[in-house]
Structure 1
Amino acid sequence: MDLLFLIIIFTALGGVLSVLAASFFLWLDDVQRARVLPHGISFATGALLAVAFWGLIPHAFEDVDSDRIQSLSAVIMAGILGFFMLEKLLVWRHCHHNHCEAHGEDAEGHHPAGMLILIGDGIHNFVDGILIAAAFLTDVKLGIVTSLAVAAHEIPQEVGDFAILLQSGYSKGKALYYNILSSLATVVGGILAYFSLEDLHDSLPYFLAMAASSFIYIAVADLIPTLHEKTELKVSVQQVALIAAGVLLICSLHGFAHDIELESLERKHQEGGR
């Protein structure tokens, strides 16, 4: 079977499958979802921070020259500031047209955190597509395993994304539609990598750093302040426990996927040097 066709099929599975597996959260009834949503926000906080600090940032800093470390750090800082300015612009645009003082919703009642999570997730999915393609270009079996590993470690993050989108005012249908659309960036990354993997290899750390900055900003600027709105001891303990659960689950799943992704890139690099 044509290798490009396999890459397209399995990058689609790696991205869309994780979204569909996580979408069960959307089909809870209103009462159950209202009860689960605050817990989902706590879990999403831990998951996003774990993806950023345990997965994306270490991966970005691997195998880079020492003179690039500072530039990658600058990209993370610039990304956080850039997402702050983007969110400010979105809030300002709504307030400018509606003559309000300041709040965090656009003309359709959507909080900017929803758009920011879609942007950051799109970048992350794009990188996943490149990694899946790199695995297929090394070995078909390795490509299949990598795509399944990507889907597995994306599922808990996608559950958190759905929670954030619903919290941001998106309907169930729109949350599913935009998350599937964002997941298609995996296919784009896979196709682009098939034709120009060597050219993209040097740019990968910067994509990873930018994705990490978006997840850090969303967790710290949008989600954690929401958690601080409730100060009861029982709720606070639940929040800490769910943040820890999000961190532990992402770290455990990412460890397996990360090892496979590194192996695929190393093999591809070795074959290219022969």
Structure 2
Amino acid sequence: MAIPSLRSSNMLKYSIYALFLGLAATVCAKSILIKDPSLLTLDEIEENVQQCSFVQTLSKHKIETSPAHASLTTQLFALLFPSSSPAINALLATAYISGPPNFLLALCPPNIDPSSLSVMVAFAVGGLLGDTLFHLLPEIFLGEDHHDRVKFVMLEPNRNLLLGVGILAGLVTFMAMDKALRIATGGDQHSHSHSHSNPEPSSPANGSTTSSKQVKSNGEVRQRKSKKEEPTTTTMEPAPINPSVKLAGLLNLIADFTHNITDGLALSSSFYASPALGATTTMAVFFHEIPHEVGDFALLIQSGFSKRKAMGAQFITAVGAFLGTCIGIFVNEYGSGGSDSAGGLTTGIWGTSLQWGDMLLPFTAGTFLYVGTVAVIPELLETGANKSQELRKTALQFGAMFVGAAIMLGISWS
């Protein structure tokens, strides 16, 4: 039977791949069954499959049809992450997402309004969800693509179920952290996107003084007595910060520290999955960190911190990202290193081929899903009374979200 040419259109090409997938498995059966299949590791199965002549033909075709030159994003990622070690690249990525966003705080005015960051937050949501849907989830269930050969995926239902459990665990963990913080602050004063209200009106002393002077200025005819009382408003000492706002600021530092730990886990697990996934996850986290850090900075200023102390506190919480990265490196190095030495597909978690290090990436995807949806989107859904202004603001938010997702899609496509 004549085999159709592999140099046809993409649709025909992938139809041929699907048609002859069973043939490839049949041709390769002898080489795989030399050893008991239950004793083979995934790497050994992949090595046996790559030795088949039909698979080698497909790999040769893939190399011939691949772009001759690396894309601009590939060159940029190679410049930013030059090492072949995923551990070193993960540490570099942690420095990228921790340093510049914190240095940008020096340019922020102390009286910045967190609600003005809604467009930037929408852009970060698009980046996070784009990275999760276009990069993380495909990588979790299908594995890493290789530019120099084709890859076959072995279906393992229980393995997929455990990966789904890891995604759910990440989402529930962040939900528990968010809920605990809301309980500790006495209500919905904390939001991951940092849309905090101005604490000044909540001060009883300030509120009573202002209302009494408004009554005097509005109820009395402009007399000299009222004019004498006007200087008292300028020489008046600043009202004390509401204790609940102080508590919210301190608890937000703890939440920021733990959140940075999960960012570090995300970076390390993604780089151990593949260099490309690590680079795109770094971009997604970086886009999210800018409004995240600015919102935390504004809350600390409202809580009574000076600008210098607020910036110092943010740099301290950045240590959490390096801690999370180191934890992720340790788990990936020692939690999945036994897959080859143990020998067999049933030596992993609950009789599957999964190792504990493989669960970090699904956990990361779950945290990104929570941050990008439950923790941030409710703020973007808030509307005001001015309809025309809200329509313009909504268009900007959706546009920013689309741009963030489109960047992730473009990187994945190329």
Which bin holds the TM-score, normalised by the shorter protein? 0.5 to 0.7
Separation in 2, partners of 1:179, 1:157: 13
What letter matches 2:91 in structure 1? A
Deviation track 1:162-188 (CA, whole Å, cap 9, x = no partner) reads 312432435443334323531453344
The aligned counterpart of 2:42 is none
Alignment match, 1:124: 266
1:239 equivalent to 2:381? Answer no
Tell me: higher relative CO, structure 1 or 2? Use CA pairs within 8 A at least 6 residues apart: 1
Deviation at 1:69, TM superposition (A): 1.5
SS at match of 2:406: helix
Whether 1:51 and 2:131 are equivalent positions in the alignment is yes
Secondary structure at the counterpart of residue 14 of structure 1: helix
Q: What does residue range 6-155 of structure 1 map to in structure 2 within 5 Å?
A: 9-23=88-102, 25-30=104-109, 34=113, 37-62=117-142, 63=153, 65-95=156-186, 102-105=187-190, 107-109=247-249, 110-111=251-252, 114=256, 117-128=259-270, 130-131=272-273, 146=275, 150=278, 154-155=282-283
Deviations, residues 87-125 of structure 1 (Å, cap 9, x unaligned) = 212222332xxxxxx223482425587456424313202
Go from structure 1 to structure 2 and tell me whether the alpha carbon gap of 1:179 and 1:152 turns closer, same or farther (over 3 Å shift). Answer: farther
Paired with 2:91 and 2:258, the residues of 1 have a C-alpha distance of 22
Partner residue, 1:229: 382
SS at match of 1:30: coil
- Whether the 8 Å CA contact 2:264–2:328 is kept in 1: the answer is no
Which consecutive residues of structure 2, in runs of 5 or more, have no partner in the other structure?
A: 1-82, 143-152, 191-243, 301-309, 340-353, 385-389
Deviation at 1:21, TM superposition (A): 4.2
Query: Any conservation in 1 of the 2:335–2:355 contact (CA below 8 Å)?
Result: no
Distance change (3 Å), C-alpha of 1:6 and 1:69? closer
After TM superposition, the score normalised by the length of structure 1 is 0.68
Q: Give, in angstroms, the shift of residue 229 of structure 1.
A: 1.9
1:175 aligns with 2:314: yes
Does the CA-based 8 Å contact 1:43-1:246 persist in structure 2? yes
How far apart are the structure 2 equivalents of 1:205 and 1:255? 24
SS in 1 for 2:383: coil
Q: In the aligned structure 1, how far is the partner of 2:315 from the partner of 2:412?
A: 24
Distance 1:215 1:22 in 2: 19
Query: Using the alignment, how far apart are the partners of 2:84 and 2:326 within structure 1?
Result: 11
State TM-score, norm by structure 2.
0.47
For 1:214, the equivalent position in structure 2 comes to 367
**Aligned counterparts of 2:109 and 2:405: Cα–Cα separation in 1:** 27
Deviation at 1:240, TM superposition (A): 0.4
1:250 alignment counterpart: 408
**Which of structures 1 and 2 has the bigger CA Rg?**
2
Segments of structure 1 that go 5 or more residues without pairing to the other structure are: 96-101, 133-145, 257-274
Q: In structure 2, what is the Cα distance between the partners aligned to 1:11 and 1:20?
A: 14
CA distance 1:159–1:40, change in 2 (3 Å): same
Kept in 1: contact 2:129–2:369 (CA 8 A): yes
CA distances 1:120-161 after superposition (whole Å, capped 9, x unpaired) = 3132023145347xxxxxxxxxxxxx49x8457514522312
Q: CA deviation at 1:252?
A: 3.3
Q: Distance in 2 between matches of 1:218 and 1:53?
A: 14
Is the partner of 2:318 in helix, strand or coil?
helix
| Partner secondary structure for residue 185 of structure 2 | helix
How far apart are 1:41 and its partner, in Å? 1.0
Letter in 1 for 2:314: A
How many residue pairs are counted as aligned between the two chains? 233
| Superposition CA RMSD, Å | 3.6
Residue 242 of structure 1, CA deviation? 0.7
Offset of 1:18 from its aligned partner? Answer: 4.0
Share of identical aligned residues, percent? Answer: 19
